[in-house]
Amino acid sequence: MSLLVTGSIGIDTVETPFGKRDAVLGGSAVYFSYASSFFTPVRLVGVVGEDCPKNLLDVFKGRDIDSTGLEIRKGSKTFRWHGSYLKDLNEAQTVQTDLNVLAERAPKIPDKFTDSPFIFLANTHPALQQEMLCCLKQPKLIVADTMNLWIQTERNELAKLLPKIHGLVLNDAEARLLTEKKNLIEAARAVLKMGPKFVVIKKGEHGCLMCSDKDTFVLPAYPADKVVDPTGAGDSFAGGMMGYLATQGGSLSSSTIKRALAFGTVVASYTIADFSLAGLQATTRDQIDDRWSHYKQSMSF
Amino acid sequence: MSLLVTGSIGIDTVETPFGKRDAVLGGSAVYFSYASSFFTPVRLVGVVGEDCPKNLLDVFKGRDIDSTGLEIRKGSKTFRWHGSYLKDLNEAQTVQTDLNVLAERAPKIPDKFTDSPFIFLANTHPALQQEMLCCLKQPKLIVADTMNLWIQTERNELAKLLPKIHGLVLNDAEARLLTEKKNLIEAARAVLKMGPKFVVIKKGEHGCLMCSDKDTFVLPAYPADKVVDPTGAGDSFAGGMMGYLATQGGSLSSSTIKRALAFGTVVASYTIADFSLAGLQATTRDQIDDRWSHYKQSMSF
């Protein structure tokens, strides 16, 4: 069942205690697409500038990712992000952000994508996220991400988006900012009152919290002894989660959501083991399944 | 099977966003004893000064806690701690510490306690912890706690203690300080090389990490929507863990340790729901068992 993702595609420069990588592929939609393509066919919608090296997206070759929705916009420049984890491996310090093409009009969803049943709106302006929804014919499950910038500057648009989606994925600091609740469970419950049926709060190395009207539970991150570059961990997590949910027809039963979050957790554990997409590229679905079983087993007693 | 605990008994003043309590009962051995007494008979060894109000330990009345090892030392003053969580509910700021009687000689383990099979050496000087071990006739399972002060000032004594114990319980900052490893899994493995068979790293609201030569796993904290006073959470966690292990004859199988950590997690979730011992006092073993089952179920998929 096809999973449509819209989000950023970027050229990253990343510094961590393990080294520096210049001009590597990044962006929320890129990590998400790669991660979810372990599970289900993916349809990518995004935009880059004409400066984007032709071979940058070669990473998607041989994967079930339809990039018909990838626009290479003439006269525009690709989104660039420079981040450093030298101070704290758990929190990126942004050295520089050049929104470039992301500050222009949104890419168009191709007609042949409008029947997509599963939708992930990676982090972008909430007005654009709503615009994307308008052209969808029969969405079964819509999940969105957001960020502190929109919570602070576009709260009204975000408030209009939230009742239109089934799930919201955001990190702990964003959840606290959005709801003005310090306690994460209170924050999660406050998010539910804003519209979505479920909310997943990502806590980085500390795992995630899921809250719906039926359930509240916490899952730990996979214990990783090798964290080389955390960039894209959250998007890979969301990709693994949505990829699995798509294979389950969009069921939101308690155990399906848990399994999905466990897949997201495991996929993210591969992302952080190397720079950019290299960790995911070195991974197979069999490895993911093995680690998933080990993770599941590790919490069983 | 009797569980012997030695550690601090104190008079606390605590400030949290939910209020202030003056001169309430605290100390590692107190929280530990109460928590473990839900599971098994407890033998308490500790010392207070003659200033300690007679009714302060009334909280133990009716519980299976043998306080023969409680010394009320004439001419000495009780340990006092004043902490504040006003800035961060997850980390105490110490306003004042008066070691008082804790800076004097250790209390004596009564002869009738020397056959105790299960031992918990709550946080105190590692030389005193070793001294306690000398008089034990047939210990089956010895677990100790420690703190940053001893790691910084008494590293040699700590190094002598670690090969003599089966398990070490400490928090994440302490584990990093002890091993000079930032990654907690690396830190846990480095602790194992110092002697203990297993190490439990407490991560506060983020749960715990257990590492042995057979296993590495992470369990989340119980999702608590009411955190009034985190004082004693770590000691209650250790108490629940050791209390359960004592009922299992000291088995250290993977599933026994997980069950024990889950009981520790659940008991701690009751501690933090109110000031001082009030959260534990309002709790029954049935409630603990119910919450334990719910916690177990919440991670099953």
For the stretch A167-179, pLDDT in tens is: 999 999 999 999 9
Burial (0-12, 13-18, 19+ Cβ within 10 Å), B23:
middle
Question: Please, how many CA atoms are within 13 Å of residue A47, restricted to the half-sphere of its CB?
Answer: 19
Does the pLDDT value for residue A90 go beyond 90? no
Q: Supply the pLDDT for residue A151.
A: 95
Q: Give the three-class secondary structure for A27.
A: coil
Q: Supply the pLDDT for residue B154.
A: 93
Q: Supply the pLDDT for residue B197.
A: 97
For the stretch A210-225, pLDDT in tens is: 999 999 999 999 998 8
Does the pLDDT value for residue A128 go beyond 90? no
Q: B216 in contact with A at a CB cutoff of 8 Å?
A: yes
Chain A positions in Cβ-Cβ contact with residue B209 (cut-off 8 Å): 223
Beta carbons within 8 Å of A202's beta carbon, 6+ residues apart: A169, A170, A171, A172, A208, A234, A237
Q: Which of B182, B209, B299 has the CB atom closest to A219's CB atom? A: B299
Q: Give the three-class secondary structure for A249.
A: coil
Q: Supply the pLDDT for residue B130.
A: 93
All residue ranges of chain B with pLDDT < 70 are none
Q: Which of A185, A220, A258 has the CB atom closest to B219's CB atom? A: A220
Q: Supply the pLDDT for residue B80.
A: 96
B209 to A223: CB separation less than 8 angstroms, yes or no? yes
For the stretch A129-150, pLDDT in tens is: 999 999 899 999 999 999 998 9
Q: Supply the pLDDT for residue A269.
A: 97
Q: Supply the pLDDT for residue B173.
A: 95
Give Dmax (Cα) for chain A. 58
Mean pLDDT of chain A: 95
Q: Supply the pLDDT for residue B250.
A: 83
Residue A115 neighbours by CB distance under 10 Å: 13
Q: B89 in contact with A at a CB cutoff of 8 Å?
A: yes
Q: B301 in contact with A at a CB cutoff of 8 Å?
A: yes
Beta carbons within 8 Å of B277's beta carbon, 6+ residues apart: B24, B25, B30, B31, B34, B59, B232, B271
Q: Supply the pLDDT for residue A250.
A: 83
In this prediction the ipTM stands at: 0.86
Chain B positions in Cβ-Cβ contact with residue A262 (cut-off 8 Å): 301
A89 to B182: CB separation less than 8 angstroms, yes or no? yes
| Shortest CA gap A299–chain B (Å) | 6
Q: Supply the pLDDT for residue B155.
A: 95
B300 to A299: CB separation less than 8 angstroms, yes or no? yes
A218 to B220: CB separation less than 8 angstroms, yes or no? yes
CA distance A5 to A35: 11
B209 to A225: CB separation less than 8 angstroms, yes or no? no
Q: B62 in contact with A at a CB cutoff of 8 Å?
A: no
For the stretch A227-256, pLDDT in tens is: 999 999 999 999 999 999 999 998 999 999
More confident residue, A41 or A131: A41
Preferred mutation among B192, B241, B265, B301 to probe A, highest tally of A CBs within 10 A? B301
CA distance B301 to B299: 7
Helices A184-193 and A172-179: crossing angle, nearest 10°? 60
For the stretch B215-271, pLDDT in tens is: 999 999 999 888 999 999 999 999 999 999 999 998 999 999 999 999 999 999 999
Q: B296 in contact with A at a CB cutoff of 8 Å?
A: yes
Question: Please, how many CA atoms are within 13 Å of residue B32, restricted to the half-sphere of its CB?
Answer: 30
* pLDDT classification of A288: cutoffs 50, 70, 90: very high
> What percent of chain A is predicted at pLDDT more than 90?
89
* pLDDT classification of A152: cutoffs 50, 70, 90: very high
A223 to B203: CB separation less than 8 angstroms, yes or no? no
- Which helix (H) or strand (E) is A215 found in, with range? none
Does the pLDDT value for residue A34 go beyond 90? yes
Its pTM surpasses 0.90: yes
Q: A223 in contact with B at a CB cutoff of 8 Å?
A: yes
Q: Which two tokens stand for residue B18?
A: 């939910």
